[in-house]
Chain A
């Protein structure tokens, strides 16, 4: 499995680091950056517990914040040109529209495996290591 951007950064700092892939670690903290999301849904497909899923709603503000070279960004630029006011909240998405859905993340079901972060092509899902203090309090450092 390829490493996340964060994993790559850690390996850059390690001398004699041999492995360039990981088998994934349990207990990462998942941070989502919605402005980078292109709605491909790979995180939802990769998620083993269903904590990340494709929603039924879409927030048009995501079009405005998307990178301009992305498809969402292009649609956002077109929408901004003709808009009379700011988008008035989320809209329902018809069944056959796949790419324009806001990803729903349910933290209660997340086991922190980081599969979504490895599947994400844009870095919108990021897996951060668990803070050392939390590991100590859970008694996992023995």
Chain B
């Protein structure tokens, strides 16, 4: 077993043994390109992550984030361009504010705000992309499963 694979198995361990589900929204211009580069370099990603391609993170609304949580995800994250480097000028800044709003909503009903997060990276920065995915995976694995009614 390679060291990268060992790192993954250790990280998937949760308190109740069940694997978490994470929905990730990737911006086409930056994060998806970084994901592509990571894939080409054959870096393994946590298996909990389900990726969704969006043209720009500015498309992601609080409804996307909360609907994902309501329909089975334990965590949601958005990965987009670095601040000031959005290909549509301000999309990632809109996303940042919407995520802040979604986190405030979660906090007001007693759900951990860490379940929703935003990461920014450039298209060439696949190590940062992988680090973000692993960090999110570890954060969500350390939290209990999200209860639904």
Contacts and interface: CB of A to CB of B under 8 A. Distances in A.
Interface residues of A, number: 26
B17 interface: no
Majority SS of interface residues in chain B? helix
Interface in A34-76: 58, 60, 71, 74-75
A90 to B, nearest CB: 8
B147 to A, nearest CB: 7
Interface residues of B, number: 26
Contacts of A74: 63, 67
A1 B69 CA distance: 43
B111 A78 contact: no
B111 A91 contact: no
A8 to B, nearest CB: 32
Nearest to B95: A96
B148 interface: yes
B108 A93 contact: no
A87 B101 contact: no
Interface of A: 58, 60, 71, 74-75, 77-89, 91-97, 100
